[in-house]
A and B are shown apart, each in its own frame.
Chain A
Amino acid sequence: MTSYTTEIIDDGKMLINMGPQHPSTHGVINFLVETDGEVIDRAIPEIGYLHRGIEKIGEMVPYPGFMPYTDRVDYLAAMFANESYAMAVEKLLGLELPRRARYLRVIACELNRLASHLVGTGCMPMDLGAFTPFTHWVRERETANDLTEELCGARLTYNYLRIGGVSQDLPVGFDKRLLQYLDHIEPIIPEFNRLITGNEIFVKRLANVVPVTGEEAIAYGLVGPNLRASGVDWDLRRDLPYSAYGEMDFEVPIGKGVRGVVGDCYDRFVVRIEEMTQSIRILRQAVEGLPEGELTCKVPKKIKPPAGTDAFARTESARGELGCYLLADGTDKPARVRFRTGSFAAMCIIEDKSPGLMIADLVAFIASIDVVAPEIDR
């Protein structure tokens, strides 16, 4: 975490700070940009401004008490951090979840993924100068937030999941309202596509811009929509199913280079739009097939996993694989907590992809990988 003042370096090149307060950095991130006019020689991401020491906090609180903190890993998709933490503890304890709890987790997570992608795909045109799509998506997201508020009392930091299950059942009439919302939002996606996805100016800003090949994406550890946009057909929900995803029927959209080459910024946008349709599909199945049963399995009163055991659990978050690593030392607090997040991985590719880019393309690139600053810094 360094910041420098703007200065002229040799050959008339300039070293400028893009951030930490910059509208297109989605939070507090700094890019040290070495430019020659409009062309970037190098852009070095400097992170850490939002480092809150979540991993350190995790070592200080007992296992169940850490759940509200995991919400703060990624405030746009808090349910997934909840889930990966819960899954890591369940793996340490060897717990088997009741079927209803797994379905409720799917409902909560997919609703959250929908809300997160609404922000992601809404912010991206906004970064490029189109403000209207964002206002439309935020309006739709309000209803999604209202629904999660009904479900768990919170709109962003849910704390809904528990070790061994979920905290509460669906409120009365929730399934009806959720299906109503899905019926409402499904026809809006094609409308949104007419408004922005097919917009010629928008396409020209994104197509063929900063293509990331499949090999690069794997090597740099890109995950989730960013990985799939590069043509890698991989989704944890389908390929290493957890929770109740094994019982769901859905497709995994991958980048096809519809308007440019595979893995360009436009693909990353389109994949997210298509994923929203799939989330709606999963939500319908989960609500309609919701089984009866318990909300939590039998969890020991004092959670003390055996000393020396460790576990790594992964979930497919809205920003890709979110992994939680836990090391137990025999007490009621973990000896080490670690979150491996999609945004952190996505940031480290920027420096190597930046030489030769235009400044405006860097903005498009940052917007297209959909990073959330607290998830980078934790």
Chain B
Amino acid sequence: MDAVVIHENLKARFGDRIGSLTVDNPDPFIVVDRSALKEIGTFLKDEPGYEFDFLENLTGLDLGDKFVSVYHLLSYKHRHSLVLRVELSKDQPTAPSVSEVWPAANWHEREQYDLLGITYTGHPDLRRIMLPEDWVGHPLRKDYEQPKGYHGISHERANVLDGFKALDDRDHPLPVVAPSKPEADGEQ
């Protein structure tokens, strides 16, 4: 089913909790209200004709002024796909968890929580997944500052080029024209 048709049908059913549809994009996407996300997800998953049974991907985005949670859905039966977006506030990015609708969301949400700091309410086990539990900050945020080290292990390494620069900066530099060079012929 086409994204335009799905958008119209959703609009008719859920009213203004369905936001705009953007078709001017490689993958058209529909913005939905976060309070209705779970309801819409359940509808899209179970309703005959849609049956988006496979949550392909769940991504968080840091757009600077707001966070976005993106859901890529696919239906094995009807071979169509759909992209949903939920817009979240910059200060408190919180979205409802869809892990009850699609169990596959469980780890994806944990990963977005870990790397972007988006909180998924209602998630059964929301804790860090990739990084250690005592890690500070969320690395994929645009304002993230990389720490200097972790438990005494430095994150910085000397630049190997500095070694070569040091050779150039010595008090007695190497002779620029070596006697064996062709252009030195006849002079020395």
- Chain A residues near B (Cβ < 8 Å): 1-2, 47-48, 51, 53, 55-56, 59, 91-92, 94, 218-221, 232, 234, 239-240, 308-312, 314, 321, 323, 325, 327, 335-336, 338, 340, 344-345, 347-348, 352, 377
Contacts and interface: CB of A to CB of B under 8 A. Distances in A.
Given A325-B72, A338-B59, A56 B130 contact: no
| Interface residues on chain B, size class | 20 to 34
Nearest to A325: B59
Given A218-B53, A221-B102, A221-B104, A1 B27 contact: no
Interface stretch (B9-17, B131-139, B165-173, B175-183): B131-139
Interface in B32-91: 53-57, 59, 61-63, 70, 72, 76, 79, 83
A219 B107 CA distance: 13
Interface string B108-151: 10010001000000000000111111000001100000000000
Interface of B: 25-27, 29, 53-57, 59, 61-63, 70, 72, 76, 79, 83, 102-104, 106-108, 111, 115, 128-133, 139-140
Contact of B27 (A53, A310, A347): A310
A51 B130 contact: yes
B56 A314 contact: yes
B130 A1 contact: yes
A327 B61 contact: yes
27 contacts: A1-B128, A1-B129, A1-B132, A1-B133, A47-B130, A48-B131, A48-B132, A51-B130, A92-B26, A218-B53, A218-B54, A219-B53, A232-B76, A239-B79, A240-B79, A309-B25, A310-B25, A310-B26, A312-B72, A325-B59, A325-B70, A335-B63, A344-B107, A345-B107, A347-B107, A348-B103, A348-B106
Given A48-B129, A310-B70, A327-B61, 10 more contacts: A51-B131, A55-B140, A219-B102, A221-B54, A232-B76, A310-B26, A310-B27, A311-B27, A312-B27, A340-B56
Q: Name, among A221, A314, A336, the residue most crowded by chain B CB atoms within 10 Å (CB to CB).
A: A221
B56 A311 contact: no
A5 to B, nearest CB: 16
State the 4 A-B residue pairs at the shortest beta-carbon distance, nearest first. A221-B104, A311-B26, A348-B107, A340-B57
Instruction: Classify the interface of chain A: helix, strand, loop or mixed.
Output: mixed
A48 B104 contact: no
A338 B72 CA distance: 12
A56 B115 CA distance: 9
Contact of A345 (B70, B76, B104, B129): B104
Given A91-B26, A336-B61, A323 B104 contact: no
A113 to B, nearest CB: 20
Nearest to B85: A310
A1 B115 CA distance: 13
Q: Name, among B53, B59, B76, the residue most crowded by chain A CB atoms within 10 Å (CB to CB).
A: B59
Nearest to A234: B76
Given A1-B129, A53-B139, A348-B107, A338 B57 contact: yes
A2 B133 CA distance: 7
B104 A348 contact: yes
B137 to A, nearest CB: 12
Contacts of A321: 56
B104 A56 contact: no
Contact of A325 (B25, B57, B63, B102): B57
A192 to B, nearest CB: 31
Nearest to B135: A1
A352 B107 CA distance: 12
A208 to B, nearest CB: 23
B56 A312 contact: yes
Q: Name, among B26, B107, B140, the residue most crowded by chain A CB atoms within 10 Å (CB to CB).
A: B26
